Structure 1
Amino acid sequence: MDEQAASRGSWRHELRATIALAWPLILANLTMATIQAIDTFFMGQYGARELAAAALGINLGFLLNLVGLGIITAASPMMASALGRGAGKVKDVRRTFRQSLWLVVTITVPIWLLLANAEWVIGLLGQEPSLAAGAQTFLYGWMWSAFFFLVFNALRNFLAALERPGWILIISAAGIPINSLLDYMLIFGRLGAPELGLLGAGLATTITWGLMVIATVIVVLRDPQFRRYNLFARIWRPDWQRYCHMWRLGLPIGASMGAEGGVFAAAAYLMGLISAQALAAHAIALQIAALSFMVPWGIAQASTVRVGLMLGRSDKDGIARAGWSAWMLGVGFMSMTAVLMWVFPRELVGIFLADTAENAPVLELGVSFLIVAAIFQIVDGAQVVGQGILRGLHDTRVPMVFTFVGYWFIGIGIAVWLGFEAGWDGVGIWTGLAAGLAIVAVLMLARWMMRERLGLTSDEPSKKITS
Structure 2
Amino acid sequence: MHETATLREKLKLFTIILVPILITQISLYLMNFFDTVMSGRVGAADLAGVAIGSSLWVPVFTGINGILLAITPIIAQLTGAKSEHEVPNKVQQGIYLAIVLALLVALAGALLLNPILQLMDLETEVRHTATFYLVSLVTGIVPLFIFNTLRCFIDALGQTRVSMLIILTSLPLNVLFNYIFIFGKLGVPAFGGVGAGIATSITYWLVCGIAFGVIYKNKPFRMYEIFSNWVKPSLKEWWEQLKIGIPIGFSIFFETSIFSAVTLLMSVYSTYTIAAHQAAMNFASLLYMIPLSVGMALTIAVGYEAGGRRLGEAKTYSYIGISGGLFIAVFAGLVLYVFNDTVAAMYNDNPEVIELTKHFIYYAIFYQLADAFGAPIQGALRGYKDVNLTLVISLVSYWGVGLPSGFLLANYTPLEPFGYWVGIIIGLSFGAACLLARLFYLQKKLAKEKKQLAIQQHG
TM-score, normalised by the number of residues in structure 2 = 0.94
Indicate if the aligned counterparts of 1:144 and 1:206 stay in contact, CA closer than 8 A: yes
Residue 52 of structure 1: aligned partner: 48
Quick one: which of 352, 361, 365 aligns to 2:356? 365
Cα deviation code 1:308-344 (max 9, x no counterpart): 1111111121011111111111111011111111222
**Structure-2 change in CA distance of 1:128 and 1:192 (3 Å):** closer
Map 1:92-171 → 2, pairs under 5 A? 92-116=86-110, 117-171=112-166
Would the aligned equivalents of 1:35 and 1:175 in 2 still touch at CA under 8 Å? no
Secondary structure of 1:423 counterpart:
coil
Misfit runs of 4+, over 6 Å = 456-459
Correspondence 1:418 to 2:412? no
Candidates 220, 228, 247, aligned match of 1:233: 228
Report how far residue 134 of structure 1 moved: 2.3
Match of 1:398 among 389, 403, 406: 389
Quick one: which of 196, 199, 202 aligns to 2:194?
199
Contact 2:130 2:194 in 1 (8 A): no
Gap change, CA 1:454 and 1:131, over 3 Å in 2: farther
Partner of 1:29: 25
Specify which of 275, 296, 307 is matched with residue 270 of structure 2.
275
Q: 1:286 aligns with which of 278, 281, 289?
A: 281
Matched, 1:42 2:38: yes
Matched, 1:15 2:11: yes
CA contact (8 A) 1:406 1:437 kept: yes
**In the aligned structure 2, how far is the partner of 1:257 from the partner of 1:417?**
24
CA contact (8 A) 1:419 1:427 kept: yes
What whole-Å deviation, never above 9, does each CA across 1:182-230 have from its counterpart, x for those lacking one?
1111111112212222332111000011111111110100003111111
Secondary structure of the structure 1 residue equivalent to 2:386: coil
> Given the alignment of the two structures, is residue 388 of structure 1 paired with residue 379 of structure 2, yes or no?
yes
- Give the length in aligned residue pairs: 446
Partner of 1:463: none
Give the Cα separation in 2 of the matches to 1:366 and 1:396.
Answer: 36
Structure 2 partner of 1:222: 217
Equivalent residue number for residue 318 of structure 2: 323
Q: Name the residue aligned to 2:330.
A: 335
**In 2, Cα distance between equivalents of 1:236 and 1:10:** 41
Q: Unmatched 5+ residue regions in structure 2?
A: 451-459
CA contact (8 A) 1:311 1:458 kept: no
| Contact persistence 2:311–2:447 (CA under 8 A) | no
1:169 and 1:109 map into 2 onto residues whose CA distance is 27
Alignment-mate amino acid for residue 415 of structure 1: G
Q: CA–CA distance in 2 between the matches of 1:432 and 1:167? A: 39
Tell me, yes or no, if the aligned pair for 1:406 and 1:440 is still in contact at 8 Å. Answer: yes
Greater mean alpha carbon deviation, residues 95-104 or residues 249-258: 95-104
SS in 2 for 1:351: helix
- Give the CA deviation at 1:124: 2.2
Contact 1:42–1:183 (8 Å) recurs in 2: yes
Which residue does 1:179 correspond to in 2? 174
- The question of whether the paired residues in 2 share the 8 Å contact of 1:220 and 1:227 is answered with yes
Once the two structures are TM-superposed, the CA of residue 259 in structure 1 deviates from its matched residue by: 0.6
- Are the equivalent residues in 2 in contact too, given 1:119–1:135 (CA < 8 A)? no
Q: 1:451 and 2:447 equivalent?
A: no
**Other structure's SS at 2:443 match:** coil
Following superposition, the deviation at residue 423 of structure 1 comes to 3.4
Is 1:79 aligned with 2:70?
no
| Partner Cα distance (2:436, 2:234) in 1 | 35
SS of residue in 2 equivalent to 1:194: coil
In the alignment, structure 1 residue 61 sits paired with structure 2 residue 57: yes
SS of equivalent to 2:189: coil
Partner of 2:423: 432
- Alpha-carbon separation, structure 2, partners of 1:145 and 1:56: 19
Whole-Å Cα distance in 2 between the matches of residues 218 and 452 of structure 1? 40
Of residues 320-329 and 191-200 in structure 1, the stretch that sits farther from structure 2 once superposed is 191-200
How far does the alpha carbon of each residue in 1:85-121 deviate from its partner, in whole angstroms, 9 at most, with x for none? Answer: 00x31x3111211121122112111211233342321
Q: 1:299 touches 1:385 (CA, 8 Å); kept in 2? A: yes
The Cα offsets for residues 118-138 of structure 1, whole Å up to 9 and x where unpaired, read as 232122244445423321121
The question of whether the paired residues in 2 share the 8 Å contact of 1:71 and 1:254 is answered with: yes
CA apart distance, 1:251: 0.2
In 2: Cα distance, 1:416 partner to 1:126 partner: 18
Report the more deviating stretch, 23-32 or 448-457: 448-457
- Distance change in 2, residues 1:458/1:215 (3 Å): farther
Distance across 1 between alignment mates of 2:201 and 2:236: 33
By how many angstroms is 1:139 displaced?
1.2
List per-residue Cα deviations over 1:409-435 (Å, max 9, x = no partner): 111011111111213122111111111
The answer to whether the Cα contact below 8 Å between 1:277 and 1:361 also exists between their aligned partners in 2 is yes
Instruction: Report the CA distance between 1:272 and its aligned residue.
Output: 1.4
Give the structure-1-normalised TM-score.
0.92
2:315 and 2:443 in contact (8 A); partners too = no
**Cα RMSD for the two superposed structures:** 1.7
* 1:141-163 Cα distance to aligned partner (Å, 9 max, x none): 11122222211111111111111
Deviation at 1:442, TM superposition (A): 0.6
Sort the Cα spacing of 1:317 and 1:386 in 2 relative to 1 into closer, same or farther, 3 A: same
Q: Is the 8 A contact 2:122 2:267 kept in 1?
A: yes
Q: What corresponds to 2:456 in structure 1?
A: none
Identical amino acids, percent of aligned pairs: 26
Amino acid paired to 1:72: L
User: Contact 1:314 / 1:458 at 8 angstroms: preserved in 2?
Assistant: no
Relative to 1, partners in 2 of residues 1:119 and 1:218: Cα closer, same or farther, differing over 3 Å?
same
Q: Distance in 1 between matches of 2:336 and 2:236?
A: 47
